[in-house]
Amino acid sequence: MAMADAHPPRRKQPYLLDARFQLKWTGYLVAVVLVVMTALGIVIERTADHATESARLAVEQAKKAAAESKANSILARQSVMLAAPEMAQVMDESLAEEDRKSADNLASIERKQAEIRADHTRIQLLLVGAGVALLSLLTMMGVIITHRIVGPVHRMKLLLRRVSTGRLVVDERLRKGDELEDLFDTFLQMTYSLRAMQRARSE
């Protein structure tokens, strides 16, 4: 059987005790980090855009080179056919090899361009995902950290109201990890002094 004088379970307080104060300072923290993240994101995005543009120009140059190589091959074959028809087969094999190398080179550059575009997309998704996750984490941490300050202030406000009615016995203490311990200790010393003065008057 439970004891009659057992303490009731401690009620868990919400984290937003002073929403205006806590959200204001959390907002400042999130805003500063958001500005830094935006600046870094712009730099990364510009770098990725530059790489993508370079890849596009490389593909265009490779296509032009392939087209010029093919045109030169046709002209060379026509010249050989006019000058030495018996060399046409050797010339065709040589030109076919050059065309194959040019096509392989173009395909390689296009694959590289596709990889750079895919990397660019991945970087964008990573930046957005990391930004959302970081801002969510910072919001939670800001509320928790400010709660460590607002909690003691809220408790002291309630205790001051109690003291103002003449109840000078304060049994409560701050939670472990709360800030403003020195201020709370000063408040307790004040209640001890008031109780001493009250006893001295009653004697």
Mean pLDDT of 133-139: 88
* pLDDT tens by residue, 99-130: 788 788 888 888 888 888 888 889 889 888 98
Nearest to 168 by CA among 159, 178, 158, 177: 159
Domain contains 77: yes
Domain contains 80: yes
Question: Is 99 in contact with 69 (CB distance < 8 Å)?
Answer: yes
Domain contains 159: no
- The pLDDT of residue 12: 59
- The pLDDT of residue 7: 45
CA distances from 160 to 60, 154, 155, 156 (A): 77, 10, 9, 6
d(CA 186, CA 110): 73
Domain contains 199: no
d(CA 113, CA 121): 12
**How many domains does the chain fold into?**
1
What's the CA dihedral at 38, 43, 48, 51 to 10 degrees? 170
Domain extent for 128 = 19-146
Count CB atoms within 10 A of the CB of residue 25: 16
Domain contains 34: yes
Residue scoring higher pLDDT (110 or 8): 110
Q: How confident is the model at residue 88 (pLDDT cuts 50, 70, 90)?
A: low
3-state DSSP assignment of residue 12? coil
Domain contains 54: yes
Domain contains 12: no
Domain contains 194: no
User: What pTM was computed for the model?
Assistant: 0.57
